Amino acid sequence: MLGETTRPSSINPQDGETDVPPGTSQRLGWRWLLEPEFALLIVVVLSIYFSRITSPNLRGEEMRRGQVAVEMIETGEWIVPQIQRQVYLSRPPLQNWLIGLLGLARGAVDEVAIRLPCVLAILLTSVLVYGFARGFMTAAGSLVSALAFATMGQVLELGRLGETEAIFTLVVSGSLLVWRWGDVHGWPRAATWGAAYVFAALATLSKGPQGLVFFAGPIGVYLVFTRRWRELISWPHFAGLAVFAAVFGAWQIPYSSQVGGQASQGIHVNMVAMRFADTSWGTFFSHLVEYPVEVVVCLLPWSIFLSAYFFPSFWKMLGDRKSTVNYLLCCVAVTFPMCWLVPGANTRYFMPLYPCFAVLIGISVEQCWNVATTADWHHSWRRYMSGVAVGMVLLGIGVLLTGFVSAWPRIAQPVGFAVVFAVLSCLLARVCWWSSDSATRLKRCAGATAVALFMGLFYVGVITNVLIQNSNNTEQQMAELKRQIPEEAQMVSIGLTDNVFTYYFGKPIEVIDPAQVSQTLPREAEYFCFNQFYEPLASQLDFPWKKIATISCERNQMESPVRVVVVARRLDNRVANAETSDRR
C-alpha cells in the first residue's frame, strides 16, 4: 500500500514532540500532485461544485456582497466598501475585491462572478487538506480527508453560494495547516511563520479580527502546552507578525485615513456585536446544549468517525500520528468556545475548523483500514459503508416517489430526474457494498468516492431542485417593475433599501435620511422606494404619491413576506386631483 513503508525517525529539534510519520511529504516533495488519488479528488470536487453554479437564484447575503463589488467598479473606490454610496460597516473587503475582479473580467457582476470565488475556495481547501494529510497518511487516506471536507453537509450548502464562509475557511485553515506543515517538515522558521501569517492577514481581510484570533489562539496554546513558548518571542515569529502587519495594513491604513477611527472600529466589530443581541439565560443555555449537536450534524455523513477519539483503544493505535491529532484537537478546542459561548453564533461560524475535522476523520478511517482483521475497529468501515449503501437505496426510492406523488409539491422532483437519481443511487450503493471490506487501495478509494459523489448528487440535484421551486423570484418582479419606470428616471430611497432590490435594480439609488425625508426628497425624483417598515414616514410626505409596486426580497416564497420594498411615484397636484375625482 502506498505510504505504508518503513517509519522514519522522529524529527523535532525543539522538544521531540513532533514526529514525521510514514508517507511524509518530506520524502514525497510535491509529487503527491501527480498521484491518481489527487486527480480523482479534483474531478469529484469540480463535478460537484461547478455543476449548476447559477442555480438556485441568488439568495441571502449574496446580493449584498455583489452590490458592494458593483459600486467598487462604478465608483473606482476599492478601499472603502459602500452600499448606495454610503460607507458599509459590515466586514473588510477581500470577498468584494474577488467578486469585483471577476465582474470586470466577465463584464457583469452576475451569479458566476459572485459564486465562483467561493467555489474555487472549496477546491483549494480540498487540495490543502489532501496535501497536508499526505504528509503522514496514505494517498487513499488523504483522499478520504479531502472528500470528507468537500462533501460535509454544511460545506455543500455554503460552498456553492456567494457567502463569506468558503473564503474564510480557506484562509483560516490555511494559516493553521500551513504552520503545522512547515513546523513538522523543517521549513525555515521565518518562512513558516510568514506563510501562516499571510493566510491570517487574508482571513482578517475577509471577516475581521476573528481571522487573526482563529490562528493566534490555537498556535499560542499549542506552543505553551508543548513547552515551546519561547518561540512566541523569537525573531521568526516577530518577522511573521511584520508580514501580517504589512498585508493587513496595506488596506487598513488607507481605509482608516479615509473614514476615521469610529468607522474603522465598526467594520470589524459591528457584526460580532449583533451576535450578543439576545443575552437571556434561556437563549444562552439552549445554545450551549444545541450548538455541539448542530455542528456534528453539519459534518454528516462523515462525523460518525470522530467518535473513535472517545475510545482509549483507538488512541493506543495512533502511534506517531498522535502528535498531529493533538495539534488538530488543540485547534478545535481553542476556537470552539469562541462560537459555543456566543448566544447568536451560527454553526457556519465554525466552518473554518471543518478542514481540521476532515483530517481527523481521514486518520480515523485509515486506522480502521489498517488494524488487524480480527480487531473490532477493522469492521467500522464495513459497517459504515454497508449502512450508507442501504441509505442510498432508500433515498433513491424516496426521491423516485416524489416524482410521482402529487401530495408533496414542495419537494417534488421532475420524473426524469427522479428516475435517473434512483438508478445512480443504486449503482453507487453497489460500489459502497463491494468496497466495504477495504481490502485493496482501489476499494478504499472507490468507496470514499462513491459516498462523496452521492452527497454531491443529492445536494446539486435534489436539494437544488427544491430550492429552485421554492425560491422567491425577485429578479422577475424587478423586471416587471423596470418596465413601468422610464429608463432615464431617477430613483431615491427613504433610508437604505434592501440589498436585493438595489442589486436587481441595477442603477444607483440615492439615499434620503428618513428623519429629513419631507424636506430633502428631491423634486426631480419622480420615483422613490422604501422598506415597508418606513411606510408610516412616507405617509407624512408633503406631496401626493401612489404605490406602484411591492417587491418581496425574501429568499423563499412566503404568504406574508417581511422583507418588502415599496416602490412609489410622486404625483403632481393635477394628476392627484384627477385620480381623486375618478375614485369618487
**Is it the case that residue 18 has pLDDT exceeding 90?**
no
With cut-offs at 50, 70 and 90, classify the pLDDT of residue 4. Answer: very low
**Is it the case that residue 75 has pLDDT exceeding 70?**
yes
**Is it the case that residue 26 has pLDDT exceeding 70?**
no
* Dist CA 93 CA 271 (whole Å): 14
Q: Please tell me which residue, 138 or 577, carries the higher pLDDT value.
A: 138
With cut-offs at 50, 70 and 90, classify the pLDDT of residue 560. Answer: confident
Cβ–Cβ contacts within 10 Å for residue 341, how many? 12
Q: What pLDDT score was predicted for residue 29?
A: 73
* Dist CA 170 CA 154 (whole Å): 15
- Find all residues with CB under 8 Å of 300, minimum gap 6, and list them: 152, 153
SS3 at position 567: strand
Cβ–Cβ contacts within 10 Å for residue 525, how many? 15
For range 14-34, the mean pLDDT: 55
Cell for 317? 493505535
Average predicted confidence (pLDDT) for the chain: 86
Contact call for residues 302 and 358 (beta carbons, < 8 A): yes
**Is it the case that residue 311 has pLDDT exceeding 90?**
no
Per residue in 400-452, pLDDT (tens digit) is: 988 887 667 788 888 899 999 999 999 999 999 999 888 889 999 999 999 99
Contact call for residues 149 and 125 (beta carbons, < 8 A): yes
With cut-offs at 50, 70 and 90, classify the pLDDT of residue 518. Answer: low
With cut-offs at 50, 70 and 90, classify the pLDDT of residue 25. Answer: very low
Q: What pLDDT score was predicted for residue 361?
A: 96
Contact call for residues 163 and 121 (beta carbons, < 8 A): no
Looking up cell 448528487, which residue turns up?
A: 457
Q: What pLDDT score was predicted for residue 407?
A: 65
For range 279-301, the mean pLDDT: 87
Q: What pLDDT score was predicted for residue 6?
A: 31
**Side chain identity at 194, as an amino acid letter?**
G
* Dist CA 499 CA 84 (whole Å): 9
Query: Which stretch of 164-168, 226-230, 235-239, 411-415 has the lowest confidence by average pLDDT?
Result: 411-415
* Dist CA 435 CA 84 (whole Å): 56
Q: What angle in degrees, to the nearest 10, is found between the helix axes of 189-207 and 165-184?
A: 170
With cut-offs at 50, 70 and 90, classify the pLDDT of residue 21. Answer: very low
**Is it the case that residue 14 has pLDDT exceeding 60?**
no
For range 171-199, the mean pLDDT: 95
With cut-offs at 50, 70 and 90, classify the pLDDT of residue 520. Answer: low
Q: What angle in degrees, to the nearest 10, is found between the helix axes of 210-225 and 165-184?
A: 30
Q: What pLDDT score was predicted for residue 110?
A: 93
Per residue in 30-69, pLDDT (tens digit) is: 888 899 999 999 999 999 999 999 999 888 789 999 999 9
Closest CA to 213 of 93, 94, 334, 358: 334
The residue length of the chain stands at 584
CA 305 centroid distance within chain: 23
Q: Which region holds residue 58: left if phi is over 0, alpha if psi is between -120 and 50, else beta?
A: beta
**Is it the case that residue 194 has pLDDT exceeding 90?**
yes
Q: Please tell me which residue, 376 or 228, carries the higher pLDDT value.
A: 228
Q: What angle in degrees, to the nearest 10, is found between the helix axes of 379-402 and 354-370?
A: 120
Strands 86-87 and 510-512: unpaired
- Residue spans of the domains in the chain: they are 26-187+203-234+253-370, 376-470, 474-583
With cut-offs at 50, 70 and 90, classify the pLDDT of residue 304. Answer: very high
Q: What pLDDT score was predicted for residue 316?
A: 85
For range 180-201, the mean pLDDT: 94
In degrees and rounded to multiples of 5, residue 137 shows phi and psi of -130, 165
With b for 16 or more beta-carbon neighbours within 10 A and e for fewer, the 416-453 pattern comes to ebbbbbbebbeebbebbbebbbbeebebbbbbbbbbbb
Cβ–Cβ contacts within 10 Å for residue 186, how many? 13
Pick from 278-292, 294-308, 510-524 the range whose average pLDDT is largest.
294-308
SS3 at position 23: coil
Q: What angle in degrees, to the nearest 10, is found between the helix axes of 415-435 and 441-457?
A: 160
* Dist CA 243 CA 249 (whole Å): 10
**Is it the case that residue 385 has pLDDT exceeding 70?**
yes
Percentage with pLDDT > 90 across the chain: 59
283 pairs with which residues across the strands? none
Q: What pLDDT score was predicted for residue 118?
A: 96
Cβ–Cβ contacts within 10 Å for residue 332, how many? 18
Q: What pLDDT score was predicted for residue 69?
A: 95
With b for 16 or more beta-carbon neighbours within 10 A and e for fewer, the 6-32 pattern comes to eeeeeebeeeebbbbbbbbbeebeeeb
For range 257-277, the mean pLDDT: 72
Cell for 27? 520524502
Per residue in 96-130, pLDDT (tens digit) is: 999 999 999 999 999 999 999 999 999 999 999 99
- Find all residues with CB under 8 Å of 447, minimum gap 6, and list them: 381, 385, 431, 432, 435, 436, 438
